[in-house]
Amino acid sequence: MAGRQLKELFKAFHDRDELAFRRAGMEIIEEEQAKHHNSLARDLQKLLVASGDPIDSGSTVIVPTPPKDREGEWDLGEARHPERLLEDLVLAPRLVEALDGIADEVRHWPELDAASIPRRQRLLFEGPPGCGKTTAAEALAAELGRPFLLVRIDAVVSSYLGETASNLRRILDYANQAPFVVLFDEFDALGRSRDDQAEHGEMKRVVTAFLQMTDRYRGPSLLLAATNHSGLLDHALWRRFDEVLTFRKPTVHELRRLLRLRLKRVRHSGIDIDHYASNLKGLPHSAAEKLLVDARRHALLRRSQTVEPNDIEAVFSSVMSRRW
């Protein structure tokens, strides 16, 4: 650890400057990672984001308050400590590999910078609803030991359309202060095709502003965008992402794994997992999850500690007939 970083840590402590502390801490962690001191880096990371309390309450964690719009009325984002992990997700092997690769790369940004190799810092997650885009973004934050910033697109593009670009600027300034994983979720609300008649004028300027701002973004945060409607996105927008990860509906095998995973910590008896996995074919992961949540609720309401086949049968048709 360099003397400069130590001084920054001490100064941040003295000034009670949570952001500066966090910044210096992350720099040290990244340096240790670059030196392949992996377990030390992981321990430090855990300490830095171990809980949700602010630093001066005796714990080590610091999540600065996200910005609001100009009127101070709406939070433009929600910052939180990620709780969901990659291991809670059932994803195709190529996606797991891609997400692991990205996490690994983020840990090695300092080395990439030193070698003048461009970072992959702006990624697009695309695919049908309920297949894990939002969850994977949060899990990536957990993996990296970073706080998760969920951008509220509805607040960013709200009423005063002229303010939208300034709101984006506020978000990016915020993301510049500390290393977050930032998710522009339901991104199509912002980036709808520039050819779309209804969205002309102001929206066109917004998309251009977003492209320019993120083009220049070289801050400490990883920027993710997610969309259910990749077809609606402008081609110019697509090309500007450093990587596009496609999420797909689960195979029957993946549905089986998901049902098994979610039943692991639930007392159950006689449930034919293969049967339900086949029946759920064509539906997203979220449908399989809802089936079990509904069945557990049903079991609980009939005062049973154990989920049984009749609990699943009772909720099955309503889950299947819903729009997903």
Ligand X SMILES: Nc1ncnc2c1ncn2[C@@H]1O[C@H](COP(=O)(O)OP(=O)(O)O)[C@@H](O)[C@H]1O
Residues that bind Mg ion (CB under 5 A): 133-134
Separation between Cα atoms, residue 26 and residue 79, nearest integer Å: 17
Asked whether position 222 contacts ligand X by CB under 6 A, the answer is: no
Asked whether position 96 contacts ligand X by CB under 6 A, the answer is: no
Separation between Cα atoms, residue 112 and residue 11, nearest integer Å: 28
CB of 72 to Mg ion, least distance (A): 27
CB of 186 to Mg ion, least distance (A): 7
Q: Where are the beta strands (DSSP E) in the chain?
A: 77-80, 122-126, 148-151, 181-184, 222-227, 243-246
Asked whether position 130 contacts ligand X by CB under 6 A, the answer is: yes
Which residue of 45, 135, 193, 214 would you call a contact of ligand X, by CB under 6 A? 135
Closer CB to Mg ion, 132 or 147, in the complex: 132
76, 180 contact by CB (below 8 A): no
The DSSP annotation for 40-82 comes to HHHHHHHHHTSSSS-GGGTS----PPPPB-TTS-SBSEEEE--
Closer CB to ligand X, 131 or 140, in the complex: 131
Asked whether position 123 contacts ligand X by CB under 6 A, the answer is: no
Separation between Cα atoms, residue 268 and residue 296, nearest integer Å: 9
Asked whether position 258 contacts ligand X by CB under 6 A, the answer is: yes
Separation between Cα atoms, residue 60 and residue 294, nearest integer Å: 38
Which residue of 90, 168, 206, 280 would you call a contact of ligand X, by CB under 6 A? 90
Separation between Cα atoms, residue 111 and residue 198, nearest integer Å: 45
Separation between Cα atoms, residue 50 and residue 97, nearest integer Å: 26
CB of 52 to ligand X, least distance (A): 20
Separation between Cα atoms, residue 220 and residue 222, nearest integer Å: 7
Closer CB to ligand X, 13 or 316, in the complex: 316
Closer CB to Mg ion, 21 or 247, in the complex: 247
Asked whether position 255 contacts ligand X by CB under 6 A, the answer is: no
Q: Where are the beta strands (DSSP E) in 198-303?
A: 222-227, 243-246
Residue nearest to ligand X (CB): 132
Which residue of 91, 157, 233, 283 would you call a contact of ligand X, by CB under 6 A? 91
Burial of residue 286 (number of CB atoms within 10 Å: 0-12, 13-18, 19+):
middle
Closer CB to Mg ion, 125 or 180, in the complex: 125
Asked whether position 132 contacts ligand X by CB under 6 A, the answer is: yes
What distances in angstroms separate CA 227 from CA 224, 231, 258, one per listed residue? 10, 9, 23
276 binds, among ligand X, Mg ion, none (CB under 5 to 8 A by kind): none
What distances in angstroms separate CA 74 from CA 32, 63, 190, 199, one per listed residue? 38, 18, 17, 23
Asked whether position 86 contacts ligand X by CB under 6 A, the answer is: no
Asked whether position 106 contacts ligand X by CB under 6 A, the answer is: no
Asked whether position 82 contacts ligand X by CB under 6 A, the answer is: no
24 binds, among ligand X, Mg ion, none (CB under 5 to 8 A by kind): none
Distance of CA 282 to the CA centre of its chain: 24
Asked whether position 134 contacts ligand X by CB under 6 A, the answer is: yes
Asked whether position 133 contacts ligand X by CB under 6 A, the answer is: yes
Closer CB to Mg ion, 22 or 133, in the complex: 133
Asked whether position 66 contacts ligand X by CB under 6 A, the answer is: no
Binding footprint of ligand X on the chain (CB under 6 A): 89-91, 129-135, 226, 247, 258, 285-286, 289
